[in-house]
Amino acid sequence: MTNSKWKISFSELDSILKKLQVLLLDEISNNKKIIDELKTTYNIDFNDNLVQKITNIIKKTVEDIKKDLNFFYESDPAASSIEEIYWSYPGFFALLIYRISHELANQKIKIIPRYLSEYAHSKTGIDINPNAIIGCPCFIDHGTGIVIGETAILGNNVKIYQGVTLGAKSLSRGNLLKGVKRHPTIGNNVTIYANATILGGDTIIGDNSTIGANVFLTSSVSNNSLIVHNENNIDLTKK
């Protein structure tokens, strides 16, 4: 359990989120292409009402962000403090931006959610579609090269390491698959190690499972499974 002295206070987090709010709003408002696209395609003005909506969404994410921060600290023995995580961990930054962009997407705000997710992608190398569903808390370690697709669903207490892809199978039907579940479902308390690839909307990883490094999966596994890559085979055992 995290030592209480490391638990971030509401006042500290509020200050951090205010700085983040300014950063994100500046990032959006200074991008003329985004502002023009909102107006010409969706008839949306980047005005005080939209700014207030974004501000309220950032405030709404506070509880989830606190849980994520503490889970990062509990999960990473290299973390010296909560402060180190929120100021320097790319996985936390990508997850934080996801929490905000996901809420924006839920409120049917156009373009901005994807723009923010690509902003985080450019800063961290972590690509999380804002429409993915990620439970809380979640832990992303190192993070570089992680891809979490649009219809992926992740449960609570999931740990993901660098290079993991939660993707779709061949998309030969392209845009005809819009709205179809194409990405996997990950249960609660699952750990997915580096460079594992899990594909397909019908693929379900059961609760309490561990997916080893470099595993390639296109089929479901039951609860409490351990999946490891062994030469040319994949070994499935029960924990």
Over the stretch 59-90, which tens digit does the pLDDT of each residue have?
A: 888 889 989 999 999 999 999 988 889 889 99
Cα torsion 146, 149, 155, 157 to 10°: value is 10
Of 13-27, 194-208, 220-234, which gets the smallest average pLDDT?
13-27
In this prediction, residues 37-43 reach a mean pLDDT of 83
In this prediction, residues 203-214 reach a mean pLDDT of 98
The answer to whether the CB of 224 falls within 8 A of the CB of 238 is: yes
CATH architecture of the region 10-126? Orthogonal Bundle (1.10)
User: What's residue 234's pLDDT?
Assistant: 66
User: What's residue 10's pLDDT?
Assistant: 47
146-239 fold: UDP N-Acetylglucosamine Acyltransferase; domain 1 (2.160.10)
User: What's residue 55's pLDDT?
Assistant: 82
The structural domains of the chain, with segments of one domain joined by +, span 10-126, 146-239
Tokens of 217: 């999966």
User: What's residue 11's pLDDT?
Assistant: 56
Tokens of 28: 């959006």
| Pairwise CA distance, residues 133 & 184, whole Å | 11
Q: Taking the alpha carbons of 72, 78, 82, 87 in that order, is the dihedral positive or negative?
A: negative
User: What's residue 7's pLDDT?
Assistant: 47
Q: Work out the pLDDT band at 1, boundaries 50, 70, 90.
A: very low
User: What's residue 3's pLDDT?
Assistant: 42
| pLDDT at residue 99 is higher than 50 | yes
User: What's residue 233's pLDDT?
Assistant: 66
Q: Work out whether strand 225-230 and strand 204-205 pair parallel, antiparallel, or are unpaired.
A: unpaired
User: What's residue 50's pLDDT?
Assistant: 79
In this prediction, residues 215-222 reach a mean pLDDT of 96
Report which residue type is found at 175: N
**CA distances from residue 225 to 14, 143, 160, 186, 238 in whole angstroms, order as listed:** 40, 23, 16, 12, 5
In this prediction, residues 29-36 reach a mean pLDDT of 85
| pLDDT at residue 138 is higher than 90 | yes
Burial class of residue 48, CB neighbours in 10 A (0-12, 13-18, 19+): exposed
User: What's residue 4's pLDDT?
Assistant: 40
pLDDT digits (tens, 9 = 90+) for 101-125: 999 999 888 889 999 999 999 999 9
In terms of pTM, does the model score above 0.95? no
Identical fold at 10-126 and 146-239?
A: no
Of 15-19, 49-53, 76-80, 197-201, which gets the smallest average pLDDT?
15-19
